[in-house]
Amino acid sequence: MWRNEQGVASPAGNPASYERPIDLVHLARQTLGDRGLEQEILSLYWKQARSLLARIEETVSQRERCDFAHTLKGSSRAVGAWQVAMAAEAVEIVAPGQDSEAARAIAALKTCVAAACDTIADLQRTH
């Protein structure tokens, strides 16, 4: 198991790709190359990421925001959406009472989720 500077693990010594919103090599490893399963997982992730982002943006509870961000971080790591995972972690670790920091972290997360969802939509159009 290999870990990058952010602590994100990648199996078999292969470093994770941060260049694209979705690491397709990681996703292919997770699905054992089953393209149909990849598409199904990406579709589910697209829905979940958008739903969790909306909840993160809407909640006033720091605890709930942290829980939603933690869930999004985990599912993002599973599909290889490393940028979303790192942005979700940034939201997760904002200290209570740091409203301006939370707003900046949420804005960055929104950008990353949009890029990942756009990539998924492009992939689904070509398949």
Domain residues for the domain of 84 are 49-127
pLDDT band at residue 14 under the 50/70/90 scheme: low
Strand partners, 72: none
Domain count, the chain: 1
- Say if residue 1's pLDDT is above 50: no
Examine residue 24 and state whether it is found in any structural domain, yes or no: no
Average pLDDT rounded to a whole number, residues 82-107 = 96
pTM for the full predicted model: 0.85
Examine residue 36 and state whether it is found in any structural domain, yes or no: no
Instruction: Kindly state the helix (H) or strand (E) to which residue 3 belongs, with its residue range.
Output: strand 2-3
Examine residue 74 and state whether it is found in any structural domain, yes or no: yes
Nearest to 51 by CA among 27, 75, 28: 75
